[in-house]
Amino acid sequence: MKDLKPKKQHEQLLANADKEKIVQHLRDGQDEAVTIIAVTLARECDLFVHFLRLWRLRVVGLDPQLGSEKYMQNIYVNRSTLYRELIRAKPKAG
C-alpha cells in the first residue's frame, strides 16, 4: 500500500474499514446496514464512475450481488430516496 499515492492510500484505508463493517453486517444478516454504507458513499460521489470504483474497493471478494452493475446503479440512482427511507426515518436513540 505504500506504493500508492496519498489519496489512493486514504481511499484504500477507508475501503478496508468499510469492508470489515460490510462483512460483519453480512454475517449478522443486516442487509439494510450494508445498503446504508452504500448510500452514504454514493451521496459523497459526484459521478457514478467514482462511486463504482470506490464501492468495488469495498466489496471485492464478497457477495457478487453487491458488486453487480445493477446493484450499484440502483444505489446511485436512488441514493436520495434510499437516504430518506433508511437514514432519516430511523428513530434517534436517546
Summarised one tens digit per residue, pLDDT across range 1-15 is 567 688 888 899 999
Instruction: Delimit the domains of the chain by residue range.
Output: 6-87
Amino acid at 28: D
Per 3-state DSSP, what percentage of the chain is helix, strand, and coil (rounded to 5)? 70, 0, 30
* Residue 45 backbone phi and psi in degrees, to 5: -100, 130
Summarised one tens digit per residue, pLDDT across range 35-70 is 999 999 999 999 999 999 999 999 999 999 999 999
Report how far apart, in Å, the C-alpha atoms of 50 and of each of 13, 15, 28, 76, 91 are. 16, 13, 28, 11, 31
- What is the CB-side half-sphere exposure of residue 39 using CA atoms within 13 A? 17
Evaluate if residue 85 carries a pLDDT over 80.
yes
Q: What is the pTM of this model?
A: 0.84
